[in-house]
Every structure is written in structure tokens, then in C-alpha cells.
Chains A and B, each alone.
Chain A
Amino acid sequence: MSVSTWPWAQIIATGFSLGSFYALVALGFSLIFGITRAFNLAHGELIVLAGYLAFALWKFYQVPFLLTLPVSLLALALVALPLYLLLRRLKEPYALNTLVVTFGLALLLQNLMLVMFSADYRLIRPDFPVFAIPGANFFISASQIILVVLSLLATGVVHVVLHYSFLGKALRATIQDAEAAQIAGINVNRMALIGFAMGGMLIGLAGPLYGENMYLYPTAGTGATLIAIILTIFAGVGRIRTLLLGGWLLGLVESGTVLVIGSKWRELVAAAVLLTLLVFRPKGIAARNQE
């Protein structure tokens, strides 16, 4: 990224678009975790897998980039189904077992992607125009606009579904207290299935956007998983507006770090933020349940 004459405007623009995308990345993880209490450490790997799917469609079948989005959306919703069936079979201690199993799944997916797509860095590069603001050395690209619009749109849709529909009410009840929801007659297993399907679709949407804005390589998923965990711990589950706020904060901190210290330290920001959150709010997620 070139340092423009308006560095702070550039930081804010980059941080805002990055942050909106981070919220989208975290949303699928947060929904699955909230509804089923399953930690999905393979979250980032699934996003990268969706990114590779879109890359293959775009590169080898000349599918326009925007058309790869619905394909990957459906494909990942289907991938989430076996994941749901797998995680449903785990026994107590459930959270720790899901952590270990999805850790293994992440390892498996990384190696599968290494075999299928090799270790090269890939980027989806559709011919989108770059707009320059007249009079200032400040650029906004169409891909950045698409990223922000789609991320906010998806986040908004999930928010509306959760807060203004009967299904959403049932989902939120399950997030708050699965046992009580069951007593009230909510089919918790079906809610879990719906949670995984929604989570899968969000992963499917995030994947191609990831491939268009950041480089795809088989081990890229760890970073995305970390971001999802950070924002979920920061916001607590089922709180989409806080999630968005957290995404923007993280995006701003990251883009600021890149501009001030250098892009090599970007990975450290996410890890440092996660450690700080865990140390000072160790039960950040659990504390929400008791309210």
C-alpha cells in the first residue's frame, strides 16, 4: 500500500472495509458457536477452501467473479452439513472435543488444498476500476466497495433474520439457553442444523471475497480463524452490532499498524489482541450467557 498524501483517510478507508469484512468472517463462526457451542477451528480453512473454489471457477471456467458468489454460497452450505453431523456425535467434554476434532479437520483441509492447488499464492483479479478522488492522492477501488457492500449486506440480513422473524427468535433463544429453549418447545437439533447452514453460507460468501482481496494459500486460514475467535470473544455471541464494531476497531488497528510499522507485523496484531482479550476477559463468551 502506498502512503498517500492523506494517510489517515487511507487508514480509515482501509480499516473500515477490512473491518466490515472481518465482521462477515466472524459472523459464521459466531453463529455456529452460539447455537451449538462447537468451536470450529477449521473455520478459516473453510473460507480459504471457498476462496479456492471461486478462484478455480473464475480462472479455469471464466465465470464472472460476482457469479462465483452464489455458487460458493450453496457449496459451503452443503459442506457444513457433514460438519454438523460429525460434531453432533461428539461426547463430553463437548467444547474441548470440538476444538480437537476441528483442529484435525483444519490440518486435513490444509493438506488437501496443498495437493489440489499447490503452495503458490493466488489472487482473484477481476477487472474492476479504481477511482481516484480528484485533487487528492486517494484511491478507492471497486473491489473495496463490493467488499464493504456485500459484507454489510450479509451482516444486515443476518441481523434482520435474528431479530424480526419467528425463526430468529427461536435461534436467539437457543443461543441464550439451549435447555430452556428445548423446554419451551424449540427443536434444538433443527436450530443447530439451521445454524450450521447459515454459518456455511456466510463462509461461502466470505471465501471469494477473501480470495479477491487477500492472497490465497493453503495455510492462510489460521489468520481468519483467529479473527473470528477474537471478534466472537469481544462481542459475545448473537450480538451482531457489537461484532461489527469490533470488526471496525480491529480493521483500524491493523491498517494503522501496517502504515506506521510495516505490513510484516500485521499478523502479530490479531494474536496480541486475542491474548489481551483472553487475559482480561477470560470468560468473555460465558459471561454473556448468564445475563
Chain B
Amino acid sequence: MLGKLHPSSVWALAAALALIIWPLFFPQASLYFQVLGMACLYGTLALAWNLYALSGAISLGHAAFFGLGAYGSALLSHYFHWSPLVTIGLGALASVVFGFLWCLVFRRLRGVYLGLASLAAVEIPKVIIDNWDSLTYGSMGLMGLEGLPSLALGKWEVALGSNLEAQYYLLLALVMAAALATRQIMASRWGWALRALRENETAARAIGIRTHRVQAKALLGSSYVTGICGGLYVHILGLVEPALVFSLHVSALPLIFSLFGGRTIFFGPVLGALILYPLEQLVFQPLFPMGHAGIYGVIIILTILFFPQGISVWKRAK
């Protein structure tokens, strides 16, 4: 599959190399490690969102998966004191369970109606976690979560929790793995089936695509990766509360990054995240300390108006 490279893939490869190499020249730039690391996390989130969106389903409720993964991991780590590397993987299974219910209940919904349903679906885990004080500590959330652990290989040791550079490389590796996986998926039969489903569901079914199964697989994969992002996010931050992980903001970001970057190219969502998140954090946060996230609203409106295909394919758009 990697044999023949499309020009856009060459650019992606060059950008990936630049992202790997630049810390060697600026080893003290901790703010940039933090911001770009988070951009990589959101890039992974956007890729996960886009996997489901390949089938034509616009979800406005991925915060549900994000929050369930976050709480799943946080509670396992809080009650059983397991290493976050284990709890993040296990906690994200809560998101998969929710994704499974989602597939069952929303089986017949399409387009706008699916979007509305997903918007409402976030409320259910949010309100339950908000009110189940004895298990989840309610709306106060959990403070002082265990950070990411240190990994030792012989005498070589990296502290993922405290060393921002190591954290950055972890998140960069995550997003690159996710992007490569997306590339393989989009070239596979399954990836083409998803896109066929987006273009015309009846025609897709007529040529023998099991539409429900194909879409359910995409959602389950998407929910697991989103849950992992949620778990990573709260362990990096060290705290979790319902308003933080189930917010409209979390649902909106992957959608905005994917639409801005371009949904039709495998690295589009990552491109969106790598451009917009640092822009918001490094440029708009100092200018508007309080409402800086509002810039995302402006960006999504402008994107739909002027780059409906996303910026990565703007030259090809008619």
C-alpha cells in the first residue's frame, strides 16, 4: 500500500518529519510541546469522528464517548489504583458500550435527524454521572488523578507524566498511528463501502454492502478511539468533571477540525487540528482570555461558506 505515493502523501510525510524533528532544535519550548501535544490529541479525536462521518453521519454528540472514556478510566484508576495505561484502554470500553446502544437505537436515523439525536444523546450519560454522587462524586468531579506513568526500558527512562517533551512524542505517535490507520481504512473495501453508503444508501445496498454492519463497525471503532482520547485527556490534566468532558465544546472540536481540514483526505482532520488549535491557544487566548473558543464558531461558519470541502482540497473544489 505504501509503494506509490500521491503528492499529498509526500506533503503529509514532510509535515510529519518536521513535527518529529523540531524539538531537537528547541528543547526548552515547553509551551509549544504542550499546545502541539494537545493538538495531536484533538487530531486523533477528529480522525475518530471522521471515521464515522465517512459514512455520511454527522455526529454532534461525540462528547458522550469522550466523557465516558474519561470517566471509565478515571474511576478505574481512582478505585483500583491501576496504571493509567491500563485504565485508559479498559475505560474506553464504556464508550464502546454506549456506541453499541447508539447503533441499536439510532439504526433508522439519517442526516439531520441523526445529528439532533446525537446532540440529545450526550445528556444521558452526563446527567447520570452528574447525579450518581456515590460513584462518580457528581458535579464536583475527581481531582488529583494519577498522571501518565514513567516507562523504563533498561536504563532508559521516560516520565510521560512530568516530561512534556515525552508527552508530546507520545501524542504525536498516537495521531500518526491513527492517521496511518485511517489511510489504510480509506483504501480498504470497508473504507469504500463507507463512502458508497454516504453517497447513496440504496445503491450501496443494491451492490451488496451490508449498510448497518458497515456503519456500526465505523461507529464502534470511532467510539473506542474517542474514549481513549478522553482517558488520555483527563490523566494529562489530572482532573475530571462532567461539565468539562461532556461539553458542547468537545463535540464541536472534532467536527470543526475535520470540516476545516477536509474530510476526504486521510490527514485532513489532523491538518485542521494542527492549524486551528495552536492558532486558538497561542494567538487568540492572549488576546481574549475568556471567550477565545468562540473563534471556532467563526471558523466553522466561514468554512461552510467558502471552503465546503475543507482547505486540504481547496484547489480541486470547483
Asked if B297 and A111 make an inter-chain contact with CB atoms under 8 angstroms apart, the answer reads yes
A91 within 8 A of B: yes
Binary interface encoding of chain A residues 82-96 relative to chain B, with 1 for a CB under 8 A from any of its CBs, else 0: 000010011101011
Chain B interface residue number, banded: 35 or more
Binary interface encoding of chain B residues 30-50 relative to chain A, with 1 for a CB under 8 A from any of its CBs, else 0: 000000000000000000000
- Docked CA distance A101–B259 (Å): 11
Binary interface encoding of chain A residues 201-241 relative to chain B, with 1 for a CB under 8 A from any of its CBs, else 0: 00000000000000000010010001001000100000000
Residues of chain B in range 276-318 having any CB-CB distance to chain A below 8 Å = 288, 290-294, 296-301, 304-305, 308
Asked if B301 and A268 make an inter-chain contact with CB atoms under 8 angstroms apart, the answer reads no
- Docked CA distance A110–B127 (Å): 20
B74 within 8 A of A: no
B58 within 8 A of A: yes
B117 within 8 A of A: yes
Asked if A96 and B111 make an inter-chain contact with CB atoms under 8 angstroms apart, the answer reads yes
Least CB distance from B302 to A in Å reads 9
Partner of B105, one of A271, A274, A275: A275
B82 within 8 A of A: no
Asked if A275 and B120 make an inter-chain contact with CB atoms under 8 angstroms apart, the answer reads yes
Residues of B within 8 A of A279 (CB): 105-106, 108-109, 117
Residues of A within 8 A of B236 (CB): none
Partner of A271, one of B120, B252, B293: B120
Asked if B115 and A265 make an inter-chain contact with CB atoms under 8 angstroms apart, the answer reads no
Select from chain A the residue with minimum beta-carbon distance to B256.
Answer: A104
Q: A271-B124, A274-B117 are in contact. Are A107 and B304 (CB under 8 A)?
A: no
Residues of A within 8 A of B256 (CB): 104
Residues of A within 8 A of B200 (CB): none
Least CB distance from B306 to A in Å reads 10
Asked if B127 and A99 make an inter-chain contact with CB atoms under 8 angstroms apart, the answer reads no
A267 within 8 A of B: yes
- Docked CA distance A7–B112 (Å): 40
B192 within 8 A of A: no
Asked if B127 and A271 make an inter-chain contact with CB atoms under 8 angstroms apart, the answer reads yes
B255 within 8 A of A: yes
Residues of B within 8 A of A233 (CB): 116
Residues of chain A in range 262-284 having any CB-CB distance to chain B below 8 Å = 264-265, 267-268, 270-272, 274-275, 278-279, 282-283
A106 within 8 A of B: yes
Partner of A268, one of B60, B123, B296: B123
Asked if A90 and B305 make an inter-chain contact with CB atoms under 8 angstroms apart, the answer reads yes
Asked if B130 and A264 make an inter-chain contact with CB atoms under 8 angstroms apart, the answer reads yes
- Docked CA distance A125–B289 (Å): 31
Asked if B291 and A111 make an inter-chain contact with CB atoms under 8 angstroms apart, the answer reads yes
Can you name 13 extra interface pairs (CB under 8 A) apart from A105-B301, A265-B131? A101-B305, A104-B301, A106-B297, A107-B293, A107-B296, A107-B300, A226-B120, A226-B123, A264-B130, A267-B123, A275-B117, A278-B106, A278-B109
Instruction: List the 7 closest pairs (A to B, CB-CB), nearest first.
Output: A108-B297, A111-B294, A104-B300, A271-B123, A111-B291, A115-B291, A107-B297
Sample (25) of A-B pairs whose CB atoms are under 8 Å apart: A86-B301, A86-B305, A99-B58, A99-B112, A104-B296, A104-B298, A105-B301, A107-B248, A107-B300, A108-B294, A108-B297, A111-B294, A114-B290, A114-B291, A219-B247, A226-B119, A233-B116, A264-B127, A268-B127, A271-B124, A271-B127, A272-B124, A275-B124, A278-B120, A279-B105
List residues of chain B with CB under 8 Å of any chain A CB: 58, 60, 105-106, 108-109, 111-113, 115-117, 119-121, 123-124, 127-128, 130-131, 247-249, 252, 255-256, 259, 288, 290-294, 296-301, 304-305, 308
